[in-house]
Structure 1
Amino acid sequence: MSIRLLFVGLSLALLLDGCATSFFNSRKSFEPEKTQIASAAVSKTGKEAVSINRDGVTFSDGTFLTRSGMSSIRLPKGFHFVTQSSVYVLAADDTGKILLINRKSGKVLHEGKLEYPLVSALLRGKTIYYVSQDNVFGVYSVAAKKTRISAKVGRAYAVDTRIANPIAMQGMLIVPTLDGKLLIINPANPRAARGFAIGDSANLNNVIFLSRIGGRIVAATPKKLVSAAPGAMHKFEASIADVTISGGTIYALTGDGRVVKLSPSLKVLAQKKFPYAQFTAVAVVGGKVYALDRSGALIVMDRSLKKSRIYDVGEVEDYAFVAGHRLYKDDEVIDLNKLSY
């Protein structure tokens, strides 16, 4: 599957692949003149992905992958990874059920139920700040075993499922909604949330990347990249395929085949275009920048984007996910340390 679109209704969510697949098939493909063999860096995982989100991949055997690597915990059948803290793992199913699991022992500590299926969340102690389908923001208390706050925050019809989880920043919580807003929440008084919109409509404008650089919020929708600080907001207008931050620098992949290096205020520092590339994942590992095209071309560059080498790692059929120095793709894992420019 290429890009998943999530249609959010009152009680129904559907995954649609046909439009995205048709779109990509109608485009010209990136065809580099020369590629390197990467077989020495590639091995099989033997795992089939059943759920994919911004921060994790859940496999059919119940194991899951996060940005820090493969977990030894096995989730109950029907549940998928949502997020984790230093102590807990939060998992959910497609009916609204949630599980809080001890990260070390794998023991289920709490079972709960939300009105709508969970989409994204942040764990703070035993309180869950979340967004569910139908674009509902909520606060769930594990101790009280109930939702303390639940409010619909806007309409969202079609959503890119690379949905970013909320983050904590300077004592506040930044919660991305499904209609392209960022809610700024004081945990001591979550009912008094304020926020601002970075998306332009209710369709495919949810936040697909959310992080921070110092006191700046860095967020992306499928249509733009935003850097916001008190009293200032900068925008980089482009179709956004993926974003990463390394060493205070932002690297973005665009829909027109560019790898772009940007400052925290989104000044373009360098860029390189690869005609017809349909990028899916970017990472910075060991001082090198990696950009993966859906055709299987893995471009390895230096941080200045001046030097590059392209490896053929095979077409991306389902997903691509970077954890540590490894790139997981479909049923394969690629050791990025073994590839250079």
Structure 2
Amino acid sequence: MKKYALILTILVSVFFAGCSTKRQYFEPFDENVAGKVSFEGNLPSKIIASNYNGATLANGNVVSKTGVNSNFKLAKNEKFLGEFEGKFISTNEKGALKVSDESGNLLLDTYIDTQALSAAINGDDLAVVGSNNTIYLIKISSNSVVMNQKLRQAYAVDSRVASPVFVEQLVVYPSLDGLLVIADRYNGRIIRDMVISDQPFFNNAIDLKVLGDNMYATTASKIMLISPVGNKSYSGEIRSVLFGNDRIYAFLKDGVVDMLDLNLNKIKSKKFTFALFAGAGIAGNSLNIVEKTGYLIKTDLNLENEQIFELNDEIDEKTFVNSSAFYHDDKFLSFN
């Protein structure tokens, strides 16, 4: 009995110690705050869903990488997946999948057997990753399915699912179970797959990018470089990544920004103590970082000459960021 009483005492002590731990927040000294800035613009409606490629507004309008599009409008319960080559992709929970032009004219109206989580367009080809880890390749003009392949079951998925990318005659799909699946876009045949994460959960790619001969796949715990001269990886607790000016900026969960070269060598590291990064964008020669408790951090592209501005709002709603602005709730902050 004494043994069990001792164990219980330890557990209770740990519990109350955890409960008494106060959450610490990013609080720059007043003398380090250069001024105040406000969310100066209003969106047509509030953001109700967002992903790497865009945001869905409550009134059906969308925000893409190129900004707000008020001409295009989603149907009720649809979500925006992104704009590619002037074409807009949308979906809903029942498996509806649509491609429209910027005026809302339907180019494709079809169904798949799962909800689409991410998608991309190249020419007449639509590549899709479904919520049950099925990958699709669909011809837009003929609504013909070139490939419909169910992959291994994924038990826990990071909601930030990267979009497929097209590389000449190939399509690279970020599967939900930690793989990159490479398929021939002309016959829909899977050529090979590659492991990018062997973590048991949340190991899907949250960002997938091709720069020249290099491909970069980012998960919540690593950035992997795949190149003709070999592969390399960088590890960290990653909230997001940003590519620009031959640099990669990795925003980590402990308030650290690591600047890497394109070979994933660390050039510089900058710590903003207790910062929670909500999003970042590059505008001109400035790196603009929005911090969730209500600050805008501006540095040059070498992570130097920082300026901190206090925002007129904390970030507690859905957000989206592109190179020119940070979108939050029903307003936006221009980086210019």
* Aligned position for 1:168: 166
Following the alignment from structure 2 to structure 1, what is the Cα–Cα distance between the partners of residues 64 and 86? 15
**192 and 174 in structure 1: CA distance in 2 versus 1, 3 angstrom threshold:** closer
Corresponding residue for 1:316? Answer: 315
Deviation string, structure 1 residues 116-137 (Cα, Å, up to 9, x no partner): 0111112233332111011111
The aligned residue for residue 79 of structure 2 is 80
- Which string of whole-angstrom CA distances, capped at 9 and with x for unpartnered residues, describes residues 310-334 of structure 1? 1122211123322341111222211
Q: TM-score, normalised by structure 2?
A: 0.87
Q: 1:215 aligns with which of 207, 213, 216?
A: 213
Of 190, 194, 197, the match for 1:196: 194
Q: Distance in 1 between matches of 2:180 and 2:62?
A: 28
Q: CA deviation at 1:266?
A: 0.6
The residue that corresponds to 1:249 in the other structure is 247
Of residues 269, 284, 287, the one that matches 2:285 is 287
Q: Which amino acid aligns with 1:328?
A: Y
Distance 1:192 1:98 in 2: 23
Match of 1:307 in 2: 305
* Distance in 2 separating the partners of 1:162 and 1:168: 19
Aligned to 2:269: 271
- Provide the TM-score with structure 1 as the length reference: 0.86
Residue 222 of structure 1 deviates from its aligned partner by 0.8
Percent sequence identity over aligned pairs: 26
Q: Is the 8 A contact 1:252 1:260 kept in 2?
A: yes
The 8 Å contact of residues 44 and 61 in structure 2, kept in 1 or not, is answered as no
Tell me if structure 2 keeps the 8 A contact 1:41–1:336.
no
Residue 94 (1) aligns with residue 93 (2): yes
Q: Do structure 1's residue 331 and structure 2's residue 330 form an aligned pair?
A: yes
- Provide closer, same or farther for how the CA distance between residues 325 and 190 of structure 1 changes in structure 2, counting only shifts above 3 A: same
Distance 1:107 1:192 in 2: 32
Cα distance between partner residues in 2 of 1:335 and 1:53: 19
Alignment gaps of 5+ in structure 2: 1-18
The offset of 1:172, in angstroms, is 2.5
Shift of 1:58: 0.4
Partner Cα separation in structure 1 for residue 80 and residue 54 of structure 2: 6
Larger mean Cα displacement after TM superposition, 114-123 or 306-315: 306-315
RMSD value, Cα: 2.0
Secondary structure of the residue aligned to 2:189 is helix
- Structure 2 CA distance, aligned partners of 1:27 and 1:134? 36
1:162-218 Cα distance to aligned partner (Å, 9 max, x none): 211111234422211112211222212331331211122342111111112221111
Change (3 A) 1:192 1:248: same
After superposition, the C-alpha distances for 1:75-129 in whole angstroms (9 at most, x for unaligned) are: 11111111232242111111101112122x2112331010001111122333321
Q: 1:201 to 1:57 in 2, by over 3 A?
A: same
Q: 2:109 aligns with which of 93, 108, 111?
A: 111
The Cα shift of 1:26 comes to 6.7
**Aligned with 2:132: secondary structure?**
coil
Aligned counterpart for 2:51 among listed residues 50, 53, 57: 53
Between the aligned partners of 1:90 and 1:41, the Cα distance in structure 2 is 28
What is the number of equivalent residue pairs in this alignment? 313
> Helix, strand or coil: the match of 1:163?
coil
